[in-house]
Amino acid sequence: MKRVMSIATSDSGAGAGIQADLKSFLRCGVYGTTAIVATTAQNTVGVNAIFPFPPHVAVDQIEAIAEDIGADAVKTGMLFNAEIISAVAEAISRLSLPNVVIDPVMVAESGATLLEPEAIETYKTDLFPLAAAITPNLNEAFAILGADVDESRIEEAAIELHSFGPDAVVITGGHTESGADLLYDGERFTKIGGPVHESGNAHGSGCTHSAALASFLARGFPLEEAARGAREVASEAVKYGLGGVGAGPGPVHALGAILVD
């Protein structure tokens, strides 16, 4: 079985973060491991507190996984600050970890800020150059570029994001009018469409998507095929989203198609 490492934050409500990644890994048929960089006190309504760990805590976990279990792919989620991002990038580079998918998590479904503003530059300089793909949503893409959101400039945004060094950019479609993802591999653009489900239960959809993309890359799928598979898994997870879990937006359900149908 292929192995995928999630380097991310714990969501106490289990809708996003490490918990969502593990569900997505299971859905995609890979063995998931975790290097937890921070923990949160959160639920479906909001994020009450964030507790980042010292950077060496993440590095120690990454090294422990790499020296025994190994990794066929890596995905990063919420990393919170520049110090953690830099330490994670150094470990990924030093250990030559493959198929790195960077999900630059910035804002929670509830609207809470999940990334210190000065950390954006560290993403650009330290982590993006190591990535097989980065997976910002529309709002994150333009925030990284320091520009106002303008969907008519999405292809320009993808080109500029690609200039920071990742092999590919996938701007996910959850915040776009069409709902389609946009893949740019440095040469051509590919729109990846599919069903759009208005369940209102999309907490964790971005984590689910990036974890699925890493999983399919680990399994040897070509980039476009992996991106299409990730779009399908994320859409499916929203379709079966779990309303009524709390008072806010419900979590996605990556295993819904297996357990419900």
41: domain CATH number? Answer: 3.40.1190.20
Domains: count for the chain? 1
The answer to whether position 183 is within a domain reads no
Two tokens, residue 152:
């008519």
User: Which among 210, 261, 218, 259 is positioned nearest to 234, based on CA atoms?
Assistant: 210
Q: Is residue 140 part of a domain?
A: no
Angle at 106 between CA 104 and CA 108, to 5 degrees: 120
| Residues above pLDDT 70, as percent of the chain | 98
- In the structure encoding, which two tokens stand for residue 85, read together? 């991002």
Q: CA angle 108-202-11, nearest 5°?
A: 45
Instruction: Report pLDDT for 260.
Output: 67
Strands 3-10 and 133-134: unpaired
Dihedral of the alpha carbons of 140, 142, 147, 153, in degrees to the nearest 10: -160
| 218 in a structural domain | yes
Domain annotation covers residue 191: no
Question: Residue 99 carries which side chain, given as an amino acid letter?
Answer: N
Strand order in the sheet with 181-184: 47-52, 31-42, 3-10, 73-76, 100-102, 133-134, 169-171, 181-184, 189-192
- The per-residue pLDDT for range 126-162, each reduced to its tens digit, is 999 999 999 999 999 999 999 999 999 999 999 999 9
CA distances from 193 to 32, 138, 202 (A): 27, 15, 17
Tell me how far apart the terminal alpha carbons of the chain are, to the nearest angstrom. 25
Confidence of residue 63 (pLDDT cuts 50, 70, 90): very high
The burial class, CB within 10 Å (0-12 / 13-18 / 19+), for 82 is buried
> Nearest-CA neighbor of 240 among 258, 221, 216?
258
User: Domain for residue 193, yes or no?
Assistant: no
pLDDT at 116: 93
Structural domain of residue 111, as residue ranges?
3-128+202-253
How many residues does the structure list for the chain? 261
pLDDT in tens, 167-220: 999 999 877 778 899 999 999 999 998 888 877 788 999 999 999 999 999 999
Assess if residue 167 is contained within a domain. no
Residue 245 lies in a domain: yes
In a domain, 18, yes or no: yes
